[in-house]
Protein backbone atom coordinates (compact mmCIF):
# COMPACT_ATOMS: atom_id res chain seq x y z
CA UNK A 1 0.00 0.00 0.00
CA UNK A 2 1.90 3.06 -1.25
CA UNK A 3 -0.37 5.78 0.02
CA UNK A 4 -2.26 5.57 3.27
CA UNK A 5 -5.81 6.93 3.08
CA UNK A 6 -6.53 10.26 4.74
CA UNK A 7 -8.27 9.93 8.13
CA UNK A 8 -11.66 11.52 8.67
CA UNK A 9 -12.83 12.89 11.99
CA UNK A 10 -16.29 13.77 13.27
CA UNK A 11 -18.65 13.07 16.16
CA UNK A 12 -21.10 10.19 15.92
CA UNK A 13 -24.57 11.00 17.24
CA UNK A 14 -23.05 14.42 18.05
CA UNK A 15 -21.45 12.90 21.17
CA UNK A 16 -18.80 10.32 20.32
CA UNK A 17 -15.44 11.59 18.99
CA UNK A 18 -14.62 9.40 16.00
CA UNK A 19 -11.75 8.75 13.60
CA UNK A 20 -12.36 6.78 10.42
CA UNK A 21 -9.42 5.44 8.43
CA UNK A 22 -9.46 3.42 5.23
CA UNK A 23 -12.25 2.10 3.07
CA UNK A 24 -11.78 -1.66 3.34
CA UNK A 25 -14.81 -3.92 2.85
CA UNK A 26 -14.95 -4.97 6.53
CA UNK A 27 -15.22 -2.81 9.64
CA UNK A 28 -12.99 -2.85 12.71
CA UNK A 29 -14.30 -0.87 15.67
CA UNK A 30 -11.61 0.13 18.17
CA UNK A 31 -12.68 0.98 21.74
CA UNK A 32 -9.83 2.81 23.53
CA UNK A 33 -8.69 2.49 27.13
CA UNK A 34 -8.63 4.77 30.15
CA UNK A 35 -6.49 7.37 28.39
CA UNK A 36 -9.53 8.20 26.28
CA UNK A 37 -10.91 10.20 29.23
CA UNK A 38 -7.72 12.26 29.44
CA UNK A 39 -7.83 14.18 26.18
CA UNK A 40 -9.92 17.14 25.13
CA UNK A 41 -12.40 15.13 23.08
CA UNK A 42 -11.34 16.56 19.72
CA UNK A 43 -9.17 14.46 17.43
CA UNK A 44 -6.82 17.00 15.90
CA UNK A 45 -4.77 16.46 12.79
CA UNK A 46 -1.87 14.78 14.60
CA UNK A 47 -4.14 12.49 16.60
CA UNK A 48 -6.08 11.38 13.54
CA UNK A 49 -2.91 10.68 11.57
CA UNK A 50 -1.48 8.75 14.52
CA UNK A 51 -4.53 6.48 14.33
CA UNK A 52 -3.96 6.00 10.63
CA UNK A 53 -0.31 5.08 11.17
CA UNK A 54 -1.08 2.74 14.08
CA UNK A 55 -3.61 0.71 12.05
CA UNK A 56 -1.92 0.99 8.66
CA UNK A 57 -1.50 -2.77 8.32
CA UNK A 58 -5.27 -3.33 8.58
CA UNK A 59 -6.39 -0.87 5.93
CA UNK A 60 -6.35 -3.18 2.91
CA UNK A 61 -9.13 -5.26 4.44
CA UNK A 62 -10.75 -2.97 6.99
CA UNK A 63 -12.29 0.39 7.52
CA UNK A 64 -10.95 1.16 10.99
CA UNK A 65 -13.16 3.27 13.23
CA UNK A 66 -11.85 4.48 16.58
CA UNK A 67 -14.84 5.63 18.64
CA UNK A 68 -14.24 7.52 21.88
CA UNK A 69 -16.65 7.83 24.74
CA UNK A 70 -18.67 11.02 25.14
CA UNK A 71 -17.45 13.78 27.41
CA UNK A 72 -19.42 14.43 30.57
CA UNK A 73 -20.10 10.91 31.85
CA UNK A 74 -22.68 10.68 34.60
CA UNK A 75 -21.36 9.82 38.06
CA UNK A 76 -21.57 6.08 38.63
CA UNK A 77 -21.61 5.16 34.94
CA UNK A 78 -20.80 1.45 34.69
CA UNK A 79 -18.93 -0.57 32.08
CA UNK A 80 -22.19 -2.25 31.10
CA UNK A 81 -23.87 1.12 30.55
CA UNK A 82 -20.97 2.22 28.35
CA UNK A 83 -21.38 -1.01 26.38
CA UNK A 84 -25.04 -0.17 25.76
CA UNK A 85 -23.91 3.20 24.37
CA UNK A 86 -21.53 1.49 21.95
CA UNK A 87 -24.29 -0.90 20.92
CA UNK A 88 -26.43 2.09 19.96
CA UNK A 89 -23.55 3.55 17.95
CA UNK A 90 -23.11 0.28 16.05
CA UNK A 91 -26.82 -0.15 15.51
CA UNK A 92 -27.47 3.39 14.27
CA UNK A 93 -24.19 4.55 12.74
CA UNK A 94 -21.83 1.74 11.79
CA UNK A 95 -23.47 -1.66 11.60
CA UNK A 96 -21.97 -5.00 12.66
CA UNK A 97 -18.19 -4.97 13.07
CA UNK A 98 -15.24 -6.82 14.47
CA UNK A 99 -14.42 -5.16 17.79
CA UNK A 100 -10.98 -4.51 19.28
CA UNK A 101 -11.11 -3.31 22.88
CA UNK A 102 -7.92 -2.12 24.56
CA UNK A 103 -7.58 -2.26 28.36
CA UNK A 104 -10.72 -0.51 29.72
CA UNK A 105 -12.03 -0.72 26.16
CA UNK A 106 -11.75 -4.51 26.41
CA UNK A 107 -14.06 -4.50 29.42
CA UNK A 108 -16.59 -2.53 27.40
CA UNK A 109 -16.07 -4.78 24.37
CA UNK A 110 -16.83 -8.01 26.26
CA UNK A 111 -20.00 -6.50 27.68
CA UNK A 112 -20.96 -5.31 24.19
CA UNK A 113 -20.49 -8.84 22.84
CA UNK A 114 -22.56 -10.17 25.73
CA UNK A 115 -25.40 -7.69 25.22
CA UNK A 116 -25.49 -7.62 21.40
CA UNK A 117 -23.69 -10.58 19.82
CA UNK A 118 -25.50 -9.79 16.57
CA UNK A 119 -23.41 -6.61 16.26
CA UNK A 120 -20.00 -8.21 16.97
CA UNK A 121 -18.43 -10.34 14.24
CA UNK A 122 -15.16 -11.05 16.06
CA UNK A 123 -13.94 -9.86 19.46
CA UNK A 124 -10.37 -8.96 20.43
CA UNK A 125 -9.60 -8.27 24.10
CA UNK A 126 -6.20 -6.54 24.12
CA UNK A 127 -4.41 -6.09 27.46
CA UNK A 128 -7.76 -6.78 29.08
CA UNK A 129 -9.64 -9.49 30.91
CA UNK A 130 -12.74 -10.32 32.88
CA UNK A 131 -11.64 -8.36 35.95
CA UNK A 132 -8.81 -6.30 37.36
CA UNK A 133 -6.13 -8.24 39.23
CA UNK A 134 -6.50 -7.86 43.00
CA UNK A 135 -2.87 -6.78 43.28
CA UNK A 136 -3.46 -3.79 41.00
CA UNK A 137 -6.47 -2.34 42.81
CA UNK A 138 -4.15 -0.18 44.93
CA UNK A 139 -2.67 1.29 41.73
CA UNK A 140 -6.18 2.09 40.54
CA UNK A 141 -7.04 3.80 43.81
CA UNK A 142 -3.87 5.87 43.61
CA UNK A 143 -4.74 6.92 40.06
CA UNK A 144 -8.21 7.88 41.31
CA UNK A 145 -6.67 10.11 43.99
CA UNK A 146 -4.50 11.79 41.38
CA UNK A 147 -7.60 12.34 39.23
CA UNK A 148 -9.48 13.95 42.11
CA UNK A 149 -6.50 16.28 42.57
CA UNK A 150 -6.30 16.82 38.78
CA UNK A 151 -2.70 15.60 38.76
CA UNK A 152 -2.82 14.49 35.12
CA UNK A 153 0.93 14.27 34.65
CA UNK A 154 1.20 11.91 37.63
CA UNK A 155 -1.46 9.64 36.10
CA UNK A 156 0.35 9.54 32.76
CA UNK A 157 3.69 8.91 34.46
CA UNK A 158 2.36 6.03 36.56
CA UNK A 159 0.62 4.40 33.60
CA UNK A 160 3.81 4.59 31.53
CA UNK A 161 5.69 2.84 34.33
CA UNK A 162 3.17 -0.01 34.28
CA UNK A 163 3.04 -0.31 30.50
CA UNK A 164 6.64 -0.76 29.44
CA UNK A 165 9.63 -3.00 30.08
CA UNK A 166 13.39 -2.52 29.88
CA UNK A 167 14.82 0.95 29.42
CA UNK A 168 11.42 2.34 28.42
CA UNK A 169 10.06 1.63 31.90
CA UNK A 170 12.64 4.02 33.32
CA UNK A 171 12.96 6.54 30.50
CA UNK A 172 9.33 7.21 29.57
CA UNK A 173 8.07 7.96 33.11
CA UNK A 174 11.09 10.19 33.68
CA UNK A 175 10.38 12.16 30.51
CA UNK A 176 6.70 12.43 31.43
CA UNK A 177 7.50 13.77 34.89
CA UNK A 178 10.04 16.32 33.63
CA UNK A 179 9.80 17.73 30.11
CA UNK A 180 6.32 16.19 29.82
CA UNK A 181 5.04 18.73 32.33
CA UNK A 182 5.18 21.28 29.54
CA UNK A 183 2.41 19.36 27.75
CA UNK A 184 0.24 17.63 30.35
CA UNK A 185 -2.91 15.71 29.46
CA UNK A 186 -5.93 17.99 29.13
CA UNK A 187 -9.20 16.20 29.94
CA UNK A 188 -12.24 18.01 28.59
CA UNK A 189 -14.18 16.88 31.67
CA UNK A 190 -11.92 16.07 34.63
CA UNK A 191 -14.70 14.12 36.34
CA UNK A 192 -14.71 11.66 33.41
CA UNK A 193 -11.34 10.32 34.55
CA UNK A 194 -12.69 9.56 38.04
CA UNK A 195 -15.85 7.98 36.60
CA UNK A 196 -13.78 5.82 34.25
CA UNK A 197 -11.42 4.63 36.99
CA UNK A 198 -14.39 3.80 39.24
CA UNK A 199 -16.00 1.80 36.43
CA UNK A 200 -12.82 -0.26 35.96
CA UNK A 201 -12.34 -0.83 39.69
CA UNK A 202 -15.94 -2.02 40.10
CA UNK A 203 -16.07 -4.28 37.04
CA UNK A 204 -16.19 -8.07 37.24
CA UNK A 205 -17.51 -9.92 34.22
CA UNK A 206 -16.39 -13.38 35.31
CA UNK A 207 -19.89 -14.81 35.65
CA UNK A 208 -20.88 -13.62 32.15
CA UNK A 209 -17.92 -14.96 30.16
CA UNK A 210 -19.79 -18.13 29.16
CA UNK A 211 -22.49 -15.97 27.56
CA UNK A 212 -20.09 -14.35 25.07
CA UNK A 213 -20.97 -15.81 21.66
CA UNK A 214 -18.59 -14.17 19.15
CA UNK A 215 -15.26 -15.84 18.52
CA UNK A 216 -12.72 -14.10 20.76
CA UNK A 217 -8.98 -13.47 20.92
CA UNK A 218 -7.54 -12.71 24.37
CA UNK A 219 -4.11 -11.14 23.89
CA UNK A 220 -1.76 -9.46 26.34
CA UNK A 221 1.44 -9.62 28.38
CA UNK A 222 2.14 -12.18 31.09
CA UNK A 223 3.56 -9.48 33.40
CA UNK A 224 0.73 -6.99 32.94
CA UNK A 225 0.03 -5.67 36.46
CA UNK A 226 -3.64 -5.03 35.69
CA UNK A 227 -4.48 -8.15 33.63
CA UNK A 228 -1.64 -10.64 34.28
CA UNK A 229 -1.29 -14.19 33.01
CA UNK A 230 -3.77 -15.72 35.44
CA UNK A 231 -6.47 -13.21 34.47
CA UNK A 232 -5.80 -13.71 30.75
CA UNK A 233 -6.04 -17.49 31.19
CA UNK A 234 -9.19 -17.20 33.30
CA UNK A 235 -10.80 -15.00 30.65
CA UNK A 236 -9.78 -17.32 27.82
CA UNK A 237 -11.04 -20.40 29.67
CA UNK A 238 -14.41 -18.84 30.44
CA UNK A 239 -15.36 -17.82 26.88
CA UNK A 240 -16.79 -20.72 24.85
CA UNK A 241 -14.99 -19.92 21.58
CA UNK A 242 -11.73 -18.19 22.46
CA UNK A 243 -8.05 -18.18 21.58
CA UNK A 244 -5.17 -16.96 23.73
CA UNK A 245 -2.00 -15.15 22.65
CA UNK A 246 0.36 -14.14 25.43
CA UNK A 247 3.61 -12.22 25.12
CA UNK A 248 6.29 -13.30 27.54
CA UNK A 249 8.12 -10.66 29.61
CA UNK A 250 5.60 -8.01 28.54
CA UNK A 251 3.50 -5.64 30.59
CA UNK A 252 0.32 -3.63 29.99
CA UNK A 253 1.67 -1.99 26.84
CA UNK A 254 2.42 -5.26 25.02
CA UNK A 255 0.28 -4.05 22.11
CA UNK A 256 2.76 -1.18 21.71
CA UNK A 257 6.11 -2.76 22.62
CA UNK A 258 5.35 -5.93 20.64
CA UNK A 259 3.37 -4.18 17.94
CA UNK A 260 4.48 -6.28 14.98
CA UNK A 261 3.63 -9.50 16.77
CA UNK A 262 0.40 -8.01 18.11
CA UNK A 263 -0.72 -6.88 14.66
CA UNK A 264 0.18 -10.27 13.20
CA UNK A 265 -1.92 -12.08 15.77
CA UNK A 266 -4.92 -9.81 15.43
CA UNK A 267 -4.82 -9.88 11.62
CA UNK A 268 -4.45 -13.66 11.63
CA UNK A 269 -7.28 -14.11 14.10
CA UNK A 270 -9.61 -11.90 12.11
CA UNK A 271 -8.66 -13.89 9.00
CA UNK A 272 -9.14 -17.25 10.81
CA UNK A 273 -5.46 -18.20 10.76
CA UNK A 274 -4.35 -18.34 14.41
CA UNK A 275 -3.98 -20.88 17.20
CA UNK A 276 -3.48 -20.32 20.92
CA UNK A 277 0.13 -19.67 21.87
CA UNK A 278 2.61 -17.94 24.13
CA UNK A 279 5.11 -15.67 22.38
**pLDDT beyond 50 at 269:** yes
Per-residue pLDDT, 41: 86
188 by Cβ neighbours in 10 Å (0-12 / 13-18 / 19+) ranks as middle
Q: Which residues pair with 243 in a beta bridge?
A: 217
Q: How far apart, in whole angstroms, are the C-alpha atoms of residue 173 and residue 74? A: 31
**pLDDT beyond 90 at 279:** no
Q: How far apart, in whole angstroms, are the C-alpha atoms of residue 259 and residue 83? A: 26
Over range 32-59, report the average pLDDT.
91
Q: Which residues pair with 100 in a beta bridge?
A: 30, 124
Q: How far apart, in whole angstroms, are the C-alpha atoms of residue 255 and residue 167? A: 17
Of the two residues 48 and 97, the one the predictor is more confident about is 97
pTM over the 0.85 mark: yes
Q: How far apart, in whole angstroms, are the C-alpha atoms of residue 220 and residue 242? A: 14
Write a three-state SS string for 219-242.
EEECCCCCCCHHHHHHHHHHCCCE
Over range 249-274, report the average pLDDT.
92
**pLDDT beyond 50 at 278:** no
Distances in Å between the Cα of 205 and the Cα atoms of 86, 131, 166, 200, 229 are 17, 6, 32, 11, 17
Over range 75-103, report the average pLDDT.
97
What is the chain's mean pLDDT, rounded?
A: 94
Over range 7-31, report the average pLDDT.
92
Over range 152-165, report the average pLDDT.
97
Per-residue pLDDT tens digits for 10-19: 999 889 999 9
214, 243 in Cβ contact below 8 A?
no
Per-residue pLDDT, 77: 98
Per-residue pLDDT tens digits for 170-180: 999 999 999 98
Q: In the β-sheet with 215-221, what is the strand arrangement from edge to edge?
A: 8-12, 16-21, 62-67, 26-31, 97-102, 120-126, 215-221, 242-247, 277-278
Q: How far apart, in whole angstroms, are the C-alpha atoms of residue 31 and residue 85? A: 12
**pLDDT beyond 60 at 190:** yes
Per-residue pLDDT, 162: 97
Per-residue pLDDT, 42: 86
Ordered by where they begin, the domains of the chain are 8-134+203-278 (3.40.50.1820)
Per-residue pLDDT, 4: 66
Amino acid sequence: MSLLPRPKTDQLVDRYPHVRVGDGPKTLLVIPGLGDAMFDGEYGRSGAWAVRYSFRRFLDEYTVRVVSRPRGLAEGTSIRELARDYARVLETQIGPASVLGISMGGLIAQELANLRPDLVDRLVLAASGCRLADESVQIGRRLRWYALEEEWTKIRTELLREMYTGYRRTLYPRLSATVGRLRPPTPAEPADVVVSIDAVLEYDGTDRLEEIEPRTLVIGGDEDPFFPEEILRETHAGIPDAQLAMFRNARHGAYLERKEGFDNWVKGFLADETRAASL
